[in-house]
C-alpha cells in the first residue's frame, strides 16, 4: 500500500468522533496538499514528515473545529462582554468616589454657613415653628375651655368676664377652622377629584364597548370549548387526529387570556407581564403544533377511488298503475334539491303500468316515494348528518372514499310504448 493512502486511512480512523461532512472536508484538504507537493517533485516521506502523524493531525483539526464552533464563539463573546462590563464598572466607581468627595466638601462648607446663620435666626425660628402634633383637636380645646371657665367662675364668680373669655376663644376656634378648610380645598383642587362631562362620557362609552367585546369573546370561547370537547370525544372514538384537539385547546387558552386582559384594562386592574407572556407563548406553541400535526395527518390520508371496497348501491323497484280514465295523465315529480336525470325505457310486458327503478348509495342519499291521485313524488335527498357520520367513520380507517362516485345514482322509468302519451315527467 502506498504511504499517502495509508496516511489518509489512519487519519480517517482517528476522526471517528467528527461528523461525516467535516471528515470529508479534512481528508480532501490533505489529499490536495499531498497532490500539490507531489507535483513539485518532492518525496512522499518528506511531505508526510512536514504534515505530521495522523494522530497529531487529527488532534489539531478537532481543536480547530471546537474553537470555530458556535457555542465556543458565544462563550468567547460573553467573556469579552464580562471584561468590558468590569472595566465600565471600575470607571463608574471612580466617578462616584470623585462625586462623593466633592459633595462632602460642599456639605462641610454649607454646615459652616448654616451655623453662622442659625445664631442670628434662632429668635425668629422659635415663633415660626408650629407642628401638627402640637395643635390640639377641637374637642380637647373645648374641654380645656370649659375647665378654664369653671375654674374662673369658682374663683371670681364674675359672669361678665366669663362671657368675654368665651367670645375670645370661640373667635380663635373659628379662625383655625377656616384655615383648615382652606387647606382641604387646596388639596382637592390639586388631586382633581371632579372630572368634566366630556371625559366622563368618553370613559362610559369605552367601558360599555369593552363589556360588549368581552361578551362576544365569551360566546366565541364557549363555542371553541364545545368543539374542543367534541374533538376529544372523536379522538376517543377512534379518529386519531389529536392535533386538532391540541390546536383548539391552545386557542381556548388564548381566547380566555384575551378576555381576562380586556377585563383588566376596562376595570383598571394590575397585570403581570411575565405570566402574560408565558400564557401567550404556550398557547401559540400549542396552536402551531396542533396545526402542523393535523396537516401531517391529512397528507397521510388515502383517497380511495373504488367505492365498491366498502359501499354498494341499493336498488329500489316500484310499480305504479296508470289512471283508469285514459284522458287523465299520470305525473312523476322529483323532490330532489337538484335536477334529476332519468332514463325512459320501453317495455312491452307492461300494460297500464309504470315501473320506476332507482339505484343509489344509502350512505349518501335518503330515498322515498309518495302518491296522490294522479301524481307520484320521487324523493332522493342528501342527508348531511348521515354523510358526516360516514365521513368520520371512514377517517377511522385513515381513508376517504371518492365523493363523486358516492354521489352517483340512476333513475330508470319503464313504460309500454302505447301508454307513453298517458305519462308526464317533471323535474
Task: List pLDDT tens digits, range 290-330.
Answer: 999 989 888 888 888 888 888 888 898 888 888 888 788 88
Q: Residue 311 is placed in which grid cell?
A: 359501499
Task: List pLDDT tens digits, range 188-222.
Answer: 444 445 567 788 888 888 889 989 999 999 999 99
With cell 305519462, the residue in question is: 423
Q: Which residues pair with 121 in a beta bridge?
A: none
Q: Residue 346 is placed in which grid cell?
A: 320501453
Q: Which of 19-33, 240-254, 332-346 is predicted with the least confidence, judged by mean pLDDT?
A: 332-346
Which one is predicted more confidently, 44 or 414? 414
Torsion, Cα 263 267 271 276, to 10 degrees, reads 10
Distance set, CA 216 to CA 75, 209, 211, 237 (Å): 51, 11, 9, 32
User: What's the order of all strands across the beta sheet hosting 375-382?
Assistant: 365-371, 375-382, 330-334, 423-425
Task: Return the pLDDT at 132.
Answer: 42
Please state the rounded mean pLDDT for residues 362-380: 83
Task: Return the pLDDT at 250.
Answer: 93
Name the residue ranges covered by the structural domains of the chain: 1-95, 142-191, 198-300, 307-425
pLDDT at position 122 over 90: no
Please state the rounded mean pLDDT for residues 373-393: 79
Task: Return the pLDDT at 80.
Answer: 63
Measured between alpha carbons, how far is 274 from 268 in angstroms, rounded to an integer? 18
Task: List pLDDT tens digits, range 34-64.
Answer: 888 888 888 888 888 888 888 888 888 888 8
Which one is predicted more confidently, 9 or 111? 9
Task: List pLDDT tens digits, range 58-113.
Answer: 888 888 877 765 445 554 555 565 566 666 666 666 766 776 666 666 666 666 66
Task: Return the pLDDT at 76.
Answer: 54
Residue 64 three-state SS: helix
Sequence-ordered list of residues with C-beta below 8 angstroms from that of 356, at least 6 positions apart, any chain: 317, 318, 320, 332, 369, 376, 378, 411, 412, 413, 414
Query: What is the dihedral sign for C-alpha 203, 209, 215, 220?
Result: negative
Torsion, Cα 24 30 32 35, to 10 degrees, reads -140
- As a whole number of Å, the CA-based R_g of the chain is 50
Task: List pLDDT tens digits, range 241-253.
Answer: 888 999 999 999 9
Sequence-ordered list of residues with C-beta below 8 angstroms from that of 333, at least 6 positions apart, any chain: 375, 376, 377, 378, 426, 427
Task: Return the pLDDT at 87.
Answer: 67
Amino acid at each position: 500500500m502506498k504511504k499517502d493512502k495509508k496516511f489518509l486511512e489512519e487519519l480517517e480512523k482517528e476522526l471517528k468522533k467528527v461528523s461525516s461532512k467535516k471528515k470529508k472536508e479534512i481528508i480532501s484538504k490533505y489529499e490536495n496538499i499531498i497532490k500539490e507537493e507531489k507535483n513539485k517533485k518532492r518525496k512522499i516521506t518528506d511531505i508526510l514528515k512536514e504534515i505530521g502523524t495522523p494522530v497529531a493531525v487529527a488532534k489539531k483539526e478537532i481543536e480547530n473545529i471546537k474553537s470555530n464552533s458556535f457555542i465556543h464563539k458565544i462563550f468567547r463573546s460573553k467573556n469579552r462582554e464580562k471584561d468590558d462590563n468590569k472595566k465600565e464598572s471600575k470607571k463608574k466607581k471612580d466617578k462616584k468616589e470623585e462625586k462623593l468627595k466633592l459633595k462632602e466638601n460642599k456639605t462641610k462648607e454649607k454646615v459652616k454657613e448654616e451655623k453662622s446663620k442659625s445664631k442670628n435666626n434662632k429668635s425668629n425660628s422659635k415663633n415660626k415653628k408650629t407642628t401638627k402634633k402640637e395643635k390640639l383637636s377641637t374637642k380637647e380645646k373645648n374641654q380645656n375651655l370649659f375647665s378654664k371657665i369653671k375654674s374662673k367662675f369658682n374663683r371670681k364668680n364674675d359672669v361678665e368676664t366669663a362671657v368675654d373669655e368665651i367670645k375670645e376663644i370661640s373667635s380663635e376656634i373659628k379662625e383655625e377652622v377656616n384655615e383648615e378648610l382652606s387647606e382641604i380645598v387646596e388639596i382637592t383642587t390639586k388631586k382633581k377629584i371632579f372630572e368634566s362631562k366630556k371625559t366622563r362620557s368618553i370613559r362610559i362609552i369605552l367601558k360599555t364597548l369593552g363589556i360588549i367585546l368581552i361578551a362576544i369573546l365569551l360566546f366565541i370561547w364557549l363555542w371553541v370549548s364545545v368543539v374542543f370537547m367534541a374533538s376529544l370525544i372523536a379522538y376517543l372514538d377512534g379518529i386519531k387526529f389529536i392535533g386538532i384537539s391540541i390546536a383548539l385547546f391552545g386557542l381556548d387558552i388564548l381566547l380566555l387570556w384575551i378576555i381576562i386582559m380586556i377585563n383588566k384594562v376596562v376595570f383598571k386592574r394590575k397585570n403581570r407581564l411575565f405570566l402574560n407572556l408565558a400564557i401567550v407563548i404556550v398557547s401559540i406553541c400549542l396552536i402551531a403544533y396542533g396545526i402542523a400535526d393535523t396537516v401531517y395527518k391529512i397528507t397521510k390520508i388515502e383517497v380511495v377511488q373504488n367505492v365498491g371496497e366498502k359501499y354498494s348501491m341499493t336498488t329500489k323497484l316500484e310499480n305504479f298503475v296508470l289512471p283508469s280514465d285514459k284522458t287523465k295523465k299520470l305525473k312523476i315529480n322529483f323532490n330532489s334539491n337538484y335536477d334529476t336525470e332519468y332514463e325512459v325505457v320501453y317495455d312491452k310486458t307492461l300494460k297500464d303500468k309504470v315501473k320506476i327503478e332507482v339505484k343509489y348509495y344509502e350512505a349518501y342519499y335518503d330515498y322515498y316515494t309518495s302518491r296522490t291521485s294522479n301524481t307520484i313524488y320521487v324523493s332522493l335527498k342528501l342527508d348531511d348528518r348521515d354523510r358526516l357520520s360516514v365521513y368520520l367513520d371512514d377517517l377511522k380507517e385513515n381513508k376517504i372514499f371518492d365523493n363523486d362516485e358516492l354521489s352517483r345514482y340512476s333513475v330508470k322509468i319503464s313504460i309500454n310504448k302505447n301508454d307513453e302519451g298517458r305519462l308526464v315527467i317533471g323535474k
